[in-house]
Amino acid sequence: MSKIYLYDTTLRDGAQKEGVSFSVVDKLEITSRLDDMGINFIEGGWPGSNPRDAEFFQKAKGLKLKNAEIVVFGSTRRANIYAEEDSNLLVMMETGFKYACLVGKTSDLQVTQVLETTLEENLKMIADSIKFLKKKGMTVFLDAEHFFDGYKHNPEYSLQCLTTAAEAGAACIVLCDTNGGAMPEEVTAAVKAARKITGVPLGIHAHNDSEVAVANTLAAVRAGVEQVQGTINGYGERCGNTNLCSVIANLKLKMGINCVSNAQLAKLTEVSHFVSEAANLPPEPSLPYVGASAFSHKAGYHVSGVAKWLDSYQHIDPAKVGNHLNVVVSELSGKGNIIYKAKERGLNVSLQGKEARILLEQIKLQESRGFQYDNAEASFDLLVYRAQPDYQPLFELVDFMVVVEKRRRQATRKDTGEMLSEAMVKVKVDGKLMHTAAEGNGPVNALDAALRQALLEFYPELAVVKLIDYKVRILAESTGTESLVRVLIESTDGIEEWRTVGSSTDIIEASWLALADGLEYWLLKNNKKKK
């Protein structure tokens, strides 16, 4: 099989996903990361469409790339004008980059219904645009837009568009499933038909509207394409583009195509997470290969198998793609999950069969009350510690009370719009009862302040611990104002981060439980001693 060239369009097509807006700094950093991972072509954007992309191409000239070529994107010339008069083509040329990707219509209906021009004029638009940029020293790829839809309706015209592009000097013709409606067998047939009429290298650009973009891309590779286009995490308009993370891993690990080195493949998960962070989107845990759940094991039967033989319930070694095995503890777990998870977390405790069974029953009871430990590892650690016969809590809750009131001006009794929250907390530390009160900008903030005020006298090191995220979820199995509420709190000491969980029909109590766990976890982990 010929060499496969990886073409990333995250910065252009991926940025068309709702809610995504990469800054120029983001785009430059993503470009460097993709280059480091071995991507051959990185589509930087459409400089003729917006100032941000124009700025990117200016600043990208300063990047020292080792593996990738930056590609300028644009469209074929407008109908009924000369190529040298088309502002879009002129801007592409003026960027100074060597590679260009032109999108051109290859569906007869798209030409007549959307471009509102003749089929013959569209062929001239394709040819003129490629020849113009080639004459200016650029290597030109053609994105054959709507090719698969066009091939179904009028195959002769769609193939004629390809031969026109080839004769004009296109270096690669990329067949686009623009609407994402093609099936793998249709892709295979159309690619083979395209190969018969031109010797120019072909590529594939698939969208995921039918949930088969990756399958279509791999089918096209088997049928003979040499360039595969996609985006990191499958970002893109509507249902997204081909997920390049999955494609790269499948090409390398399943099809034996060395599109990247082993070391570059091991950066796949890191790059995936970086792009999601730059996009200000949470990483999708269920993504194949790179998701946090891709190698997670929850069922006790599965964990028992993995503990004996790692390949029993996972198709590859997760380290190959920079990911890792994760054992989840839940109501579906067996005692093996508990023992495995404790070892994985580095907990230096004794968990024999009986102790593990007791702890498992405790976890199942807690989950029936709304707790969930999949994403609250710190609370799981505390359950393990508390199951030890010699465990002594570092502090004990005696009582708490929270008051919330709306402030009014004393003179006028008018509503000022300000809310006041005050919390009173009683905790016992080393036999001493501490009774403190504090105000906050909300009940949880007031609770946190009052609890810290009580504990700092004994554990001044706790001052470094900060709450950085707070999530509330109304559990689906309950309804109305009596619903169970789950609170997930994320804390940090500036070095590490950890998550704790609380659940109750009272949101304040759920918050208290998660808050208290977050502080106690840090004290235990750092071996802080009572004064």
- pLDDT top residue among 202 and 444: 202
Domain residue ranges of the chain, discontinuous segments joined by + = 5-278, 296-368, 403-456
Query: Which pLDDT belongs to residue 327?
Result: 63
| Residue 438, number of CB atoms within 10 A of its CB | 19
Residues in Cβ contact with 256 at an 8 Å cutoff, skipping those fewer than 6 apart:
none
- Helix then strand count (H, E) for the chain reads 18, 16
Report the 10 Å Cβ neighbour count for 266: 16
Strands (E), 159-317: 172-177, 202-206, 227-230, 296-297
User: What would the two tokens of residue 36 be?
Assistant: 């480091």
Question: How does pLDDT run across 80-114, given as a tens digit for each residue?
Answer: 999 999 999 999 999 999 999 999 999 999 999 99
Task: Provide the pLDDT for residue 531.
Answer: 41
The amino acid at residue 279 is A
- The architecture that CATH gives domain 5-278 is Alpha-Beta Barrel (3.20)
Is the pLDDT confidence value at 348 over 80?
no
For residue 340, pLDDT beyond 70:
no
Q: What is the pLDDT of residue 441?
A: 83
Mean confidence (pLDDT) of the chain: 88
Residues paired with residue 490 on neighbouring β-strands, in sequence order: 469, 499
Residue with tokens 């010339």: 77
Cβ atoms of 377 and 344 within 8 Å: the answer is no
Identify the pLDDT of residue 70: 98
Whole-number pLDDT of residue 99: 98
Q: How confident is the model at residue 322 (pLDDT cuts 50, 70, 90)?
A: very high
* pLDDT for residue 482 is more than 80: no
Confidence of residue 529 (pLDDT cuts 50, 70, 90): very low
Average of per-residue pLDDT across 246-261? 97
For residues 449 and 467, what is the distance between their CA atoms, to the nearest angstrom? 11
CB of 17 closer than 8 Å to CB of 235: yes
As a whole number of Å, the CA-based R_g of the chain is: 29
| Cα 323 from Cα 267, distance rounded (Å) | 9
Element (H, E) at 167: helix 155-168
Coil vs helix vs strand at 451: helix
Whether residue 220 contacts residue 204, with contact meaning beta carbons closer than 8 Å, is answered with yes
pLDDT at 431: 87
Give the model's confidence band at 385: pLDDT under 50 very low, under 70 low, under 90 confident, else very high.
Answer: confident
Percentages helix, strand, coil for the chain (3-state, rounded to 5) are: 45, 20, 35
Q: Flag the least confident range among 169-173, 312-316, 317-321.
A: 312-316
Q: What is the pLDDT of residue 349?
A: 58
CA end-to-end span of the chain: 70
pLDDT value of position 528:
47
CA 256 to CA 244: how far, in whole Å? 16
CB 483, CB 505: distance < 8 Å: yes
